[in-house]
């Protein structure tokens, strides 16, 4: 089963792409809630290149690595990557009021579909807020 989440980012596509793929930006937006954060991130943005983000609860009680390999890199419009036996497809579509970022990913069986959708959507919404705030600051 595949799940799709989407958000509109009111910024130019080059800024949106950079914020999605730059480790220093990923560390700023990659969390589903305020009690989590990304302590480190690495990106080798090429087909066959790998990425990794260390996500941890702010209280230090739990953490995990979200890591995978890029299988398609088409700047600034599309990224496809695998993580474990799952994959995700990220599309960046410019429009009149910004860039629509849509992620379609393989669901996993350990958590309900709605919980997975809400978590990925929360991270994507956090991403949009980060890009808009950064874009307005520059």
Query: What fold does the segment set 2-137 form as a domain?
Result: Alpha-D-Glucose-1,6-Bisphosphate; Chain A, domain 4 (3.30.530)
Mean pLDDT, the chain, whole residue set: 96
pLDDT at 136 exceeding the cut of 90: no
User: How many CB atoms are located within 10 Å of the residue 7 CB?
Assistant: 19
Q: Give tens-digit pLDDT for 5-27.
A: 999 999 999 999 999 999 999 99
Q: Give tens-digit pLDDT for 74-100.
A: 999 999 999 999 999 999 999 999 999
pLDDT at 138 exceeding the cut of 90: no
Query: CB-based contacts of 114: which residues, under 8 Å, 6+ apart?
Result: none
Q: Is residue 122 within a helix (H) or strand (E), and if so which, with residue range?
A: helix 113-137
Q: What is the dihedral of CA 16, 17, 21, 24, to 10 degrees?
A: -40
User: Are 28 and 130 contacting, i.e. CB atoms less than 8 angstroms apart?
Assistant: yes
Whole-prediction pTM value?
A: 0.94
Confidence of residue 134 (pLDDT cuts 50, 70, 90): confident
């Amino acid at each position: 089963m595949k799940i799709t989440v989407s958000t509109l980012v009111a910024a130019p596509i080059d800024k949106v792409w950079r914020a999605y793929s730059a480790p220093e930006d990923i560390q700023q937006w990659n969390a589903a809630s305020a009690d989590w954060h990304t302590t480190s991130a690495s990106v080798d943005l090429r087909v066959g290149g790998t990425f990794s983000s260390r996500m941890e609860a702010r209280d230090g009680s739990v953490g995990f690595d979200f890591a995978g390999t890029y299988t398609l890199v088409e700047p600034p419009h599309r990224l496809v990557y695998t993580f474990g036996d799952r994959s995700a497809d990220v599309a960046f579509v410019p429009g009149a009021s910004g860039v629509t970022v849509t992620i379609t990913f393989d669901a996993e069986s350990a958590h309900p579909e709605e919980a997975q959708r809400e978590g990925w959507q929360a991270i994507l919404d956090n991403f949009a807020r980060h890009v808009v705030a950064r874009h307005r600051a520059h």
